[in-house]
Amino acid sequence: MKTPAQKQCLEELCRLYAPPGQEDEVAAYCRPRLEKACDKVWQDEIGNLIGFIKGTSSNDKDSVRIFAHMDEIALIIKRIEDDGTIRVDPLGGMYPNLIGVGPVDILGRHEHVSGILSVGSVHVSEHSSAAYHIQPSMGNQAMTWLHTHVFTGLSRQELYAKGIRAGTRLVIPREHRTLTEVGEYWSGYFMDNRAGIASLLNLIDKLKSQGKRPYPDLYVVLTVEEEIGAHGAKYAARTIPATLTLGLEVGPAEEEYSVDFSASPILVYRDEEAVYDRRVADYFLDIAREISMYVQTATFSTYKSDVSHAKSAGRSPFSGLICLPTKNTHSYEIIHRDVIENTSLLLKAFLLDEHSSFLPRYCPSCDQIK
C-alpha cells in the first residue's frame, strides 16, 4: 500500500468499534484482506483472526507468528442507578483526564444508545461532590472514574429494555474517530493498535503483490483482549505452532526512553512483563542495516504486550517486539505518516531472509547455539 492507501486503511480501522471481547467489526474488516494474501484464514475459539502463509523452507520448525491486537481501550458499565445514571469502570488503561467529558456510544444488546460522559458543573461549592473536588482551586486532585457518570436521559428500566446493563461496553463514537493530519503526522484515537494492524496488512499485501513468500511459515495473528490481559495472545501462543513470536504495537516516543518521534521503528528489548530475546532484536538491527534503514531501540516500563505476556507464560521459545513511535498513547494518539511503511519494509526484509526461522539453533553434537 502507498501512503494514501495506508491512511485510508488506518482511518477505516480506527472508525471500527472493538472494546475488549467485542472485536467483531475489526475482524470482519480484516478477514477479506487476509483472504486475498494468505493460503488459509480462520478464526479460533477465543476470537483471534489468523492468516497462514506457507514459507519456502523445507523445515516445518521454521515458523513465525506475528501478533497485532484488534481490541481498544473502552469502558464497561459497573451499575445503573435508580434514576438511570450510569457508573463505569475502565477496560484497559483508559483515564478520564485523557478522554475528557463528551459523547460515548453505549453498545446495548438490542440497541446502541448515545450518552454523555460527565463530571458535573464547575460553578459549584463543597455541597456538590465530584466537580468541586477536582477543580484546580481544590489542590489539583486527580480525576478518577469515581468522579464520573454517564447521562442518557433514560430510566434504568428503559436502558434495560435496550439491553444495557452491568457489563455493557461504552466506546468513543464513530464521528470522533476521524484522523487529523498535521504536517507529516497522523493523529486519532486507537492508533493502539490499528497502526500495528495496518502495518501487518501492508506487509502481507506487499508479499502478495510482489509474488514473494516468506522463508519461514508465517502466521498472521490478530488477537483479542490484549488490553485486559492479552488473553487472545496467550491462547494463540498455546495453540499455534511457531519458533518465533513477534509483536507489532505502538510505543511511547518519550525522552525517558531516548525514543525519537519519527518514522523509525523501535526494537524493544524489555518491558514491564518480560525481557525479549536479545538475539532477535540484534538480528533486526542487522537486517535494518542491510536495507539502509535507521531503527531505534528501547526498554519500556509500565508497558506490556501480547508477546511479553506469551513469553512470561512460557509459550514462546523466541520473542521480539517492534513498535511504532507514538505520542499521546491511550489518548488522541499521533504517529509519523511513514512509520507504517517502514515497519512493513523491515518485517518483509526479515521474513525473506533465510535465517528468519529463527537463527539460533541448538546443535547437540557441538553443544552450542549456532
Span 297-306, pLDDT tens digits: 999 999 999 9
Point out the domain boundary residue: 175, 206, 237.
175
The predicted structure's pLDDT at residue 356: 63
Domain end residue (candidates: 115, 142, 175): 175
Task: Return mean pLDDT, the chain.
Answer: 92
Assign residue 62 the CATH number of its domain.
Answer: 3.40.630.10
- Percentage, residues of the chain above pLDDT 70: 91
| Confidence (pLDDT) at 78 | 98
Task: Note the pLDDT tens digit of each residue in 26-38.
Answer: 999 999 999 999 9
- Same structural domain, 200 and 324: yes
Query: What is the structure's pLDDT at 236?
Result: 97
The stretch 299-314 carries a mean pLDDT of 94
**368 falls within a domain:** no
208 and 67 fall within a common domain: yes
Is 65 in the same domain as 106? no
The structural domain count of the chain equals 2
Looking at residue 87, its pLDDT comes to: 98
Average pLDDT over residues 321-336: 97
CB 141 within 8 A of CB 133: yes
Greater model confidence, 60 or 114: 114
Give the whole-angstrom CA distance, residue 29 versus residue 18: 11
Q: Same domain for 17 and 157?
A: no
Pair 204, 350 in one domain: yes
Q: What span, in angstroms and rounded, lies between the C-alpha atoms of 301 and 9?
A: 30
Q: In this predicted model, what pLDDT tens digit does every residue of 341-365 receive, in sequence order?
A: 999 999 999 999 876 655 454 444 4
CATH number of the domain bearing residue 107:
2.40.30.40
- Helices 24-37 and 191-209 meet at what angle, rounded to 10? 20
pLDDT value of residue 368: 44
Q: Residue 367 has what pLDDT?
A: 41
Query: How do residues 188-232 score in pLDDT, each as one tens digit?
Result: 999 999 999 999 999 999 999 999 999 999 999 999 999 999 999
pLDDT computed for residue 121 by the predictor: 80
- Domain-embedded: residue 370: no
Please give the C-alpha separations between residue 219 and each of 63, 70, 222, 246, 366, in angstroms, as whole numbers: 8, 16, 10, 10, 31
271 and 336 inside one domain: yes
Binned at pLDDT 50, 70 and 90, residue 132 comes out as low
Range of the domain at 148: 74-175
Q: What is the mean pLDDT of residues 124-134?
A: 64
Same domain? For 342 and 288 the reply is yes
Whether residue 253 sits in one domain with residue 163: no
Residue whose C-alpha is closest to residue 331's, from 6, 90, 18, 93: 93
pLDDT tens digits for range 250-286? 999 999 999 999 999 999 999 999 999 999 999 999 9
Torsion, Cα 226 230 233 238, to 10 degrees, reads -170
User: What is the per-residue pLDDT for 143?
Assistant: 79
Where residue 69 falls among pLDDT bands split at 50, 70, 90? very high
Q: Tell me, yes or no, whether 84 and 154 share the same domain.
A: yes
183 in a domain, yes or no? no
What is residue 363's predicted lDDT score, i.e. its pLDDT?
41
- pLDDT at res. 353: 87
Check residue 140 and give its pLDDT. 54
Q: How confident is the model at residue 135 (pLDDT cuts 50, 70, 90)?
A: low
pLDDT for 148: 93
Q: Are residues 15 and 109 in the same domain?
A: no
Please determine, for residue 369, whether its predicted confidence score (pLDDT) is greater than 80. no
The pTM of this model reads 0.92
